[in-house]
């Protein structure tokens, strides 16, 4: 199977859907003439023209509002934020308009649309450009929140998101656009709301999503050397959250470690912990461990950046601490 970059997988997903449906358009900063800040939309202006690949001013609230209005009138916008840190400027349109319109109008108006762009830390970008808001958006009824961890998932999940009919928050790691993986040439979609058991194991379940999956894979290799069999689950979607797959895994392994690139309070890992203790407590043979970022704004110094983030060593230590109980 061919290998393509994460950005190319995203581009293929948008191109395929836009060729099939002329109601779909892409809007955002530098998506057209500049081919996208991360070159995700490279070549799309030439194929689809300026009415369907639209450059905007630096005005996230404005173009998010335009997109919501377009969706209410039957178009299907894909809104690219240069970074989800900038989506905070547009959050009123996302939370109070897109997420609520279907419910508030009794289904008379829908917001069939996708908000997508990079999330998370990407090195020394400072505290205002290195945040994870997956849990913020997942807290909002009316939204679905998708976080792919590899090119195959990126394409299949984005195509499913564009087809879904609901407002989707689609968050891509800023450090993974050049990451390569195998992607079929034939079109395909991946079901939203269903976690993926990447590897089966017997001693401990490790749950994560997005960029942190790369560190989980490294930790799993170290655990295998230590004689610990880890079952690896990639959530893919954090709203809706697939509790069933996690709990069924714990019935087998009896232990759980959750890895998340986010602050600990009110996190996805905190919600998973509650759901497992509510519905799977009798299967646990050890306390649940979770690895999150430090509860501070991201520092700038590279040594502090590494200390701030979940690490392979922290994941291995957590898995060993529960596996040996």
Q: Which residues are catalytic?
A: 60, 129
How distant, in Å, are the alpha carbons of 54, 68, 120, 291 from that of 162?
17, 14, 22, 32
Residue 272 neighbours by CB distance under 10 Å: 23
Interatomic CA distance for residues 272 and 19, integer angstroms: 38
Report DSSP letters for 279-305, one per residue: HSGGG-SS--EEE---SSPPPSSHHHH
DSSP 76: E
Q: β-strand 113-119 against 53-55: which pairing, if any? A: unpaired
Element (H, E) at 258: strand 256-259
Contact (Cβ atoms closer than 8 angstroms) between residue 190 and residue 153: yes
Helix (H) or strand (E) holding 113: strand 113-119
**For residue 321, what is the DSSP state?**
H
Are β-strands 204-208 and 256-259 bridged in parallel, bridged antiparallel, or unpaired? parallel
Strand, coil or helix: 141: coil
In the numeric block, the tokens 């701030």 are attached to 308
Q: Under DSSP, is residue 86 helix (H, G, I), strand (E, B) or coil?
A: helix
Inter-CA distances, 319 with 109, 253, 283, 315, Å: 47, 12, 17, 6
Contact 233, 261 (CB under 8 A): no
Are the beta carbons of 234 and 195 closer than 8 angstroms? yes
> To which H or E segment does residue 176 belong?
none
Structure tokens at 166: 């609901």
């Amino acid at each position: 199977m061919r290998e393509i970059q994460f950005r190319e997988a995203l581009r293929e997903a948008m191109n395929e859907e836009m060729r099939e449906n002329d109601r779909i358009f892409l809007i955002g900063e530098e998506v057209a003439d500049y081919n996208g800040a991360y070159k995700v939309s490279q070549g799309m202006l030439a194929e689809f023209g300026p009415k369907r690949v639209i450059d905007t001013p630096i005005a996230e609230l404005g173009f998010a509002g335009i997109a919501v209005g377009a969706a209410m009138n039957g178009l299907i916008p894909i809104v690219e934020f240069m970074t989800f840190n900038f989506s905070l400027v547009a959050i009123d349109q996302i939370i109070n308009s897109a997420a609520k319109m279907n419910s508030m109008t009794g289904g008379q108006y829908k917001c069939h649309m996708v908000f997508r762009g990079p999330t998370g830390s990407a090195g020394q970008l400072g505290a205002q450009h290195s945040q994870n808001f997956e849990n913020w958006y997942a807290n909002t009824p009316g939204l679905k929140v998708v976080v792919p961890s590899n090119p195959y998932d990126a394409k299949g999940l984005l195509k499913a998101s564009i087809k879904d009919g609901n407002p989707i928050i689609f968050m891509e790691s800023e450090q993974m656009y050049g990451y390569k993986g195998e992607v079929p040439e034939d079109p395909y979609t991946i079901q939203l709301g269903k976690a993926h058991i990447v590897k089966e194991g017997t001693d401990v379940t490790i749950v994560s999503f997005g960029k942190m999956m790369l560190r989980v894979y490294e930790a799993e290799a170290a655990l295998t050397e230590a004689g610990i069999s880890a079952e690896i689950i990639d959530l893919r979607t954090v709203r809706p959250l697939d509790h069933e797959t996690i709990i069924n895994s714990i019935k087998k392994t009896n232990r759980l470690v959750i890895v998340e690139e986010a602050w600990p309070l009110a996190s996805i890992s905190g919600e998973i912990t509650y759901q497992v203790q509510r519905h799977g407590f009798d299967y646990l043979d050890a306390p649940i461990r979770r690895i999150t970022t430090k509860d501070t704004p991201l520092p700038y110094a590279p040594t502090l950046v590494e200390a701030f983030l979940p690490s392979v060593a922290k994941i291995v230590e957590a898995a060993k601490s529960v596996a040996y109980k």
